[in-house]
Amino acid sequence: AQSVSQHNHHVILSEAASLELGCNYSYGGTVNLFWYVQYPGQHLQLLLKYFSGDPLVKGIKGFEAEFIKSKFSFNLRKPSVQWSDTAEYFCAVTDYSSASKIIFGSGTRLSIRP
Amino acid sequence: DTGVSQNPRHKITKRGQNVTFRCDPISEHNRLYWYRQTLGQGPEFLTYFQNEAQLEKSRLLSDRFSAERPKGSFSTLEIQRTEQGDSAMYLCASSDRDRGTEAFFGQGTRLTVV
């Protein structure tokens, strides 16, 4: 069965610091990968997605993620965070061939100190 | 707003009562998903539909839970004989299977069982 692991439960950074959130998945087949963000009081929104092609994908608000197939990883990065990036971040995976259910990780809460 | 719409936004019910939630997906989206989210956790898959067909149900979904999507448009999630452990945020999402697998989420229905 597919699963997603996010090892950082809560990350606290100062503004302008660099960010990297870890995501590992377990699935042997071809996958589609996502990062979603949930700002306080708001619904889940897509940050970026990987379907195929260039393993380095860029999303909204300066976020990017790199798919490393050999490591089953899809880490999220941002070179310089802002206070407005305070939110919960979720990594998710789905089976590419069947495009079945989307499995989410437990999330990483990001707190940015102004 | 043409996004995913969920009603009601909040529901407080007494233990043992039945509740029903409604989800209106983005029009023409053929996939519809139901998730449950508790505090500090990622969305937990419950079930999903391809048009009107229910393709998968989580083993976590007891027989007190039932979902329907008549005519492949809106969907309802019913919980019978609610228990305090059912208290959670219930999320609905939709996607266009033919154009990609990213899911768009609604605001959710927060259920509190007292």
Are A25 and A4 in contact by the 8 Å Cβ rule? The answer is: yes
Number of Cβ pairs < 8 A linking chain A and chain B: 56
Contact at CB, A101 and B41, closer than 8 angstroms: no
Starting at the earlier edge strand, list the strands of the sheet with B65-68. Answer: B5-7, B19-24, B75-79, B65-68
**Residue owning tokens 């043992």:** B16
Contact at CB, A46 and B107, closer than 8 angstroms: no
Per-residue pLDDT band for B112 (boundaries 50, 70, 90) equals very high
Are B32 and B93 in contact by the 8 Å Cβ rule? The answer is: yes
Q: What angle do CA B97, A89, A94 make, to 5 degrees?
A: 30
CB nearest to B106's CB, from A32, A43, A109: A43
Nearest to A51 by CA among A93, A20, A91, A89: A93
The answer to whether residue B1 scores a pLDDT higher than 60 is no
Are A35 and A48 in contact by the 8 Å Cβ rule? The answer is: yes
Q: Residue B99: what pLDDT?
A: 64
Residues of chain B in contact with residue A99, where contact means CB-CB under 8 angstroms, are 31, 97, 101
- Taking the C-alpha atoms of residue A98 and residue A104, their distance in angstroms, rounded to an integer, is 17
The answer to whether residue B10 scores a pLDDT higher than 80 is yes
Handedness of CA B73, B74, B76, B77 (dihedral sign): positive
The answer to whether residue B100 scores a pLDDT higher than 70 is no
Our CA-based measurement puts residue B24 at a distance from the nearest CA of chain A, in whole angstroms, of 15
CB neighbours of residue A39 within 10 Å: 13
Encode pLDDT of B55-96 as tens digits.
888 887 889 999 999 988 999 999 999 999 999 999 999 998
SS3 at position A45: strand
Handedness of CA B41, A11, A40, A18 (dihedral sign): negative
pLDDT tens track of chain A, all 114 residues? 778 999 899 999 999 999 999 999 998 788 899 999 999 989 999 999 998 899 999 999 999 999 999 999 999 999 999 999 999 999 999 886 666 788 999 999 999 998
Q: Residue B37: what pLDDT?
A: 95
